[in-house]
Amino acid sequence: MHKVYVTMKMRRRQGNPFNFNDYPDTSMDTPLSPNMEDYMENISMLLKEHDVVRVKDIAKKLNIRMPSVTAALQKLKEKGLVDYEKYGHVQLTTKGKEVADSIYEKHSFLTEFFKEILSMNTQEAEEQACKLEHHLSSNASNRMQRFVEFYKQEQLDGQQWINRLDSVLEEKRLSELKEGQKAEIIRILGSGPLKKRLLEMGFRKGEIIHVLKYAPLKDPIEISIKDFLLSIRVEEAHSIIVKPLGSHD
Amino acid sequence: MHKVYVTMKMRRRQGNPFNFNDYPDTSMDTPLSPNMEDYMENISMLLKEHDVVRVKDIAKKLNIRMPSVTAALQKLKEKGLVDYEKYGHVQLTTKGKEVADSIYEKHSFLTEFFKEILSMNTQEAEEQACKLEHHLSSNASNRMQRFVEFYKQEQLDGQQWINRLDSVLEEKRLSELKEGQKAEIIRILGSGPLKKRLLEMGFRKGEIIHVLKYAPLKDPIEISIKDFLLSIRVEEAHSIIVKPLGSHD
DNA sequence: TAATAAAATTAGTCAAGTCTAATTTATTTC
DNA sequence: GAAATAAATTAGACTTGACTAATTTTATTA
């Protein structure tokens, strides 16, 4: 009866049910849940910093309470991934290290992907990597990793497309700018009367604009172009693509 | 008491707790769980195919049982995302459509990313998109989308790096080839005696090899290079990077 | 070393999401 | 239109992974 129930659950979602990963070699037994993967990864990280890891440390790192950690450790111990005795310190088994490394590898290149390629700031890049790392199949993982390696080589080779990409990623809508920001106009979206009107107002490719006053949700936005003062509605500002000068995130 | 508990849960994982997303505009109320997002997306997809969607259809699509669907629909109804009466048909509300579209958009460019850029086959690309779409922040989402657009434009422009990337992605280790496959040797990893030995055996960049016999996990691999028959150990084959001729996945 | 403080565990609860079995409502079919 | 079939719902159970409160063990300190 019990066994049957488990079998039913395994049916969920075709292909790789749950959000579990298929590890390269490791583990013929049930795959780790994203959650347990997270424990493994973080224990591994803590072990790199301090040589003694306690329940409290894990709880703090994961921002959860100690009893949750205890429960998790007991499960991970059963799976043979951690060395751990009641009230004792936590270590990873050989198998556990493999698992943790495999996850950490994903984490690393995902972080690089978001940070280096998509120009996101470190913190956000890390956060995204943490979320996605548990959901990448080994094939996708592999390809992603190759892609990141490829990108880095292209960067070393000084390939021009890298710069083109950076430019594209820096672009924003005028309506996304904050008060005080300066930006260069890249292009005006759409066509017809609206575009014409904007062009007539002086919004032309290459011009530098300066956002003087902008209270989000409150029309209009006040800006200056070459010493002219203008105010446009958020809706209009939405179809003006600009590249902020300075700033980063 | 109850409220406090919820507050505690919200503490989990700094930044965006849970694996929930921050939608662009929509929803001041609690964000949807990845699961509920999945329901929304799939209901939306079903509605595009048939104009009447029943509990049974959703259950079938998600590969789960009907009672689970009923429960989910009740929750989604409470959140004002679906129009649904007991024993009746399912429709999305205006708000529901927005949510579904926003998810579907992520799904689309993620699929393109895996399929077009990383050259994965359609099914795997879809699967990965399904898993990741619920975990992308709006910023990452935005950048990813721009990147995919950028790639497509570069492709149209016939930029060379696209070809270089394709080449890199096609590369495999000799040990990953299947029986009968042919491949071109791209490079030999490592250095020292092993590499020297392999070069002496005839493994040189540009040569075409043909895998004659390979029972995974069973050494050795039998291959031919220019009518010479050779057999090498899996371990050695591991450090030979090749590009398969023909095939695709 | 006895007393206190800190850390960890157990016990019991909760919520989300799934399931089966039994029941109710709709739809077909003769 | 009544009987049979199909679809949907309710009720109750289970798993995972959190939590609090209470207890136990270990570490620290006077």
Q: Which of A83-87, B17-21, B60-64, B158-162 has the lowest mean pLDDT?
A: B17-21
CB < 8 Å to A119, chain B = 143
DSSP for chain B, please give it. Answer: -HHHHHHHHHTSSSSS-TT----SS--SSPPPPHHHHHHHHHHHHHHHH-S-B-HHHHHHHHT--HHHHHHHHHHHHHTT-EEE-TTS-EEE-HHHHHHHHHHHHHHHHHHHIIIIIS---HHHHHHHHHHHGGG--HHHHHHHHHHHHHHHHHHHTT-HHHHHHHHHHH-EEGGGPPTT-EEEEEEE-S-SHHHHHHHHHT--TT-EEEEEEEETTEEEEEEEETTEEEEE-HHHHTTEEEEESS---
Alpha-carbon distance of B180 to B177, in angstroms, equals 8
Asked if A139 is an interface residue toward chain B (Cβ–Cβ < 8 A), one would say yes
Higher pLDDT pick, A154 / A11 = A154
Token couple for B218: 């069973």
Q: For strand D, which nucleotides have at least one atom less than 7 Å from a protein CB?
A: 7-12, 14-21, 25-26
Q: How far is the CA of A93 from the C1' of C5 (A)?
A: 32
Of all nucleotides in the shown strands, which has a C1' nearest the CA of A85? Answer: C8
| Nucleic acid strand C within 7 Å of A70 CB | yes
pLDDT of residue A10: 37
Q: Is A241 helix (H, G, I), strand (E, B) or coil?
A: strand
Each residue's pLDDT tens digit, A70-108: 999 999 999 999 999 999 999 999 999 999 999 999 999
CA–CA–CA angle A112, A118, A123 (5° rounding): 60
Token couple for B36: 């509920």
**Residue B198 in this model has a pLDDT that exceeds 70:** yes
Asked if A18 and A54 touch (Cβ cutoff 8 Å), the reply is no
pLDDT of residue B242: 93
Query: Number of A:B CB contacts under 8 A?
Result: 101
Q: Is A76 exposed, middle or buried (0-12, 13-18, 19+ CB in 10 A)?
A: buried
Buried b (16+ CB within 10 A) or exposed e, A174-188: bbbbeeebbbbbbeb
Q: How far is the CA of B9 from the C1' of D30 (A)?
A: 40
Q: Which residue has the tokens 């004659």?
A: B212
pLDDT band, very low/low/confident/very high, at B93 (cuts 50, 70, 90) = very high
Residue B121 sits at φ, ψ, to 5 deg, of -75, 160
pLDDT of residue B21: 43
Q: Please, what is the average pLDDT of chain A? A: 86
Asked if B179 and B211 touch (Cβ cutoff 8 Å), the reply is yes
pLDDT > 90 in chain B, percent: 63
Torsional sign, CA A182, A184, A186, A192: positive
| Region class of B195: left (phi > 0), else alpha (psi between -120 and 50), else beta | alpha
Q: Is A181 helix (H, G, I), strand (E, B) or coil?
A: coil
Asked if B189 and B239 touch (Cβ cutoff 8 Å), the reply is yes
Q: Is B205 exposed, middle or buried (0-12, 13-18, 19+ CB in 10 A)?
A: exposed
Which residue in chain A is spatially nearest to B217 when comparing CA positions? A25
User: In this complex, which of B13, B19, B120 lies closest to A140 when CB atoms are compared?
Assistant: B120
Angle in degrees, 0-180, between the axes of helices B66-78 and B55-62, rounded to the nearest 10: 110
Alpha-carbon distance of B48 to A226, in angstroms, equals 49
Domains and CATH numbers, chain B: 1-169 (1.10.10.10), 171-244 (2.30.30.90)
Token couple for B240: 């030979």
Q: How far is the CA of B63 from the C1' of D5 (A)?
A: 23
**Residue B12 in this model has a pLDDT that exceeds 50:** no
Alpha-carbon distance of B246 to B244, in angstroms, equals 6
pLDDT of residue B158: 97
Higher pLDDT pick, B235 / B163 = B163
Residue B53 sits at φ, ψ, to 5 deg, of -120, 130
| Nucleic acid strand C within 7 Å of A74 CB | yes
Torsional sign, CA A105, A107, A110, A115: negative
8 Å CB contact of B131 and A135: yes
Q: Which residue is nearest to nucleotide D11 (CA to C1')?
A: B67
Higher pLDDT pick, B15 / B52 = B52
Which residue in chain A is spatially nearest to B123 when comparing CA positions? A15
pLDDT of residue B14: 33
**Residue A189 in this model has a pLDDT that exceeds 80:** yes
Q: Which residue is nearest to nucleotide C6 (CA to C1')?
A: A56
pLDDT > 70 in chain B, percent: 86
Token couple for A172: 């924003």
CB < 8 Å to A159, chain B = 161
Alpha-carbon distance of B233 to B223, in angstroms, equals 11
Alpha-carbon gap: A228 to the closest alpha carbon of chain B (Å): 32
Which of A54, A140, A143, A120 has the alpha carbon at shortest distance from A91?
A54
Which of B44, B32, B17 has the alpha carbon at shortest distance from B76?
B32
Asked if B187 is an interface residue toward chain A (Cβ–Cβ < 8 A), one would say no
| Nucleic acid strand D within 7 Å of B61 CB | no
Of all nucleotides in the shown strands, which has a C1' nearest the CA of B74? Answer: D9
**Residue A1 in this model has a pLDDT that exceeds 50:** no
Average pLDDT of span B181-189: 91
Each residue's pLDDT tens digit, B125-135: 999 999 999 99
